[in-house]
Amino acid sequence: MSQPQRPWQIALLVVMAILLTVADTYILIKDGFHPDHYIPYVYPAALVFWIFASRFVIKHTPPDG
């Protein structure tokens, strides 16, 4: 059985997802939603981070009782 990750690693994933999303949204707004400046892989990457982090938290959260 693999050793569970530390909470700071989960926090790092969440922070990375937030930074990716904020950075891409900023680029979109700054350039007036110009499609040439849009980074199409940022939102899917952030979504993958969110899914991984949430699944990890659910898996390693002890049940009540």
pLDDT digits (tens, 9 = 90+) for 26-40: 877 777 766 666 666
In the chain, % helix, strand, coil (3-state, to 5) comes to 70, 0, 30
Mean pLDDT of 1-24: 73
Q: If we measure between CA atoms, which residue out of 2, 12, 25 comes closest to residue 53? A: 12
Q: What is the CA radius of gyration of the chain?
A: 16
pTM over 0.85: no
